[in-house]
Amino acid sequence: MIENNTVYFVGSGPGDPSLITLKAKELLEQADVIVYSGSLLNPKILEDKKNSAILHDAALIDRETIYEILRNSTKKGKLAIRFHDGDPSLFSAIKEQIDKLERDGIQCKVVPGITAILGAASVMNLELTLPGNTQTLIITRAELRTAVPPRERISELAKHGATLAIYLSVHLIAEVVQELLKSEVYTNETPVAIVYRATWEDQKIIKGTIGDIVKKTKEAKIMKTAVIIVGDVIAPKRYEFSKVYDAGFTHGYRRATK
């Protein structure tokens, strides 16, 4: 049920309009005011809005203006949604908006969406947590204008040898490679994939290694809207079969058969 006096922060998914959630579609169809991420969201998704809905491209306005649109619309009894690409909980700056709206007595609710790394994994048929390889996925970004704590630098995170998903950083691919190699865990032979606009009609997948991915990325002229995936799960030399589905494994729902 859609509630009054509430701003919804809604994830639109990775790009393919059919990957939007049913809840997100319901909100989109009923919204009076939509503040959307125009630089990242697939415009085809907005085709499901009602004709009278007022659109505001967040790429063209600042934080305070976004807040005022959401607050003022809601105070007037309108349904306002902040429509994010991917999932609102990752690299979306929702906290600063929610805190301010709640201080004004406006409720806020988040509707999740499929994030880029999951969209990218799907188009590559990847299992990001592969038994015998890694059971960990780390999502991060490279440091530039947005500071990163020293313990969270790519060179430090790479020491785990887990699957790394690096957002908002493909334009810094050369710097990312240098940070990966500083870990002394990943090598020039470690597999890397660059997935541009995963699940969109014009998606591109560039596969390589730490040693050649900078050259391949530049040749493909990919400078934005891509996720970097690092780790052996991209091209595993070995992995183990799941214990859960092993005929010799007993668990709460099935007894071993051999």
Separation CA 81–CA 165 (nearest Å) = 28
Average pLDDT over residues 95-100: 96
> Is pLDDT at 253 greater than 90 in this prediction?
no
Burial of 204 (0-12, 13-18, 19+ CB in 10 A): middle
CATH code given to domain 116-234: 3.30.950.10
* Angle formed at CA 62 by CA 58 and CA 24, multiple of 5 degrees: 30
Phi and psi of 204, rounded to 5°? Answer: -130, 140
Alpha helices in 128-226 (DSSP H): 154-157, 173-182, 213-219
Task: Please check the confidence at residue 230 and state whether its pLDDT lies above 80.
Answer: yes
In the predicted model, what is the mean pLDDT of residues 71-98? Answer: 96
Give tens-digit pLDDT for 152-161: 999 999 999 9
Taking the C-alpha atoms of residue 95 and residue 121, their distance in angstroms, rounded to an integer, is: 27
Fold of the CATH domain 6-111: Cobalt-precorrin-4 Transmethylase; domain 1 (3.40.1010)
Over residues 237-256, the mean pLDDT reads 82
How many C-beta atoms lie closer than 10 Å to residue 244's C-beta?
Answer: 10
**Percent of the chain surpassing pLDDT 70:** 100
Angle CA 38–170–137, to nearest 5: 100
Cα–Cα distance, 18 to 152 (Å, whole number) = 34
Tell whether the model's pLDDT for residue 81 goes beyond 80: yes
pLDDT at residue 225 greater than cutoff 80: yes
In percent, how much of the chain has pLDDT > 90?
86
Element housing 208 (H / E): strand 204-209
List every span in the chain annotated with CATH 3.40.1010.10.
6-111
pLDDT of residue 236: 92
CATH 3.30.950.10 domain range(s) in the chain: 116-234
Q: pTM here?
A: 0.93
| pLDDT tens digits for range 167-210 | 999 999 999 999 999 999 999 999 999 999 999 999 999 999 99
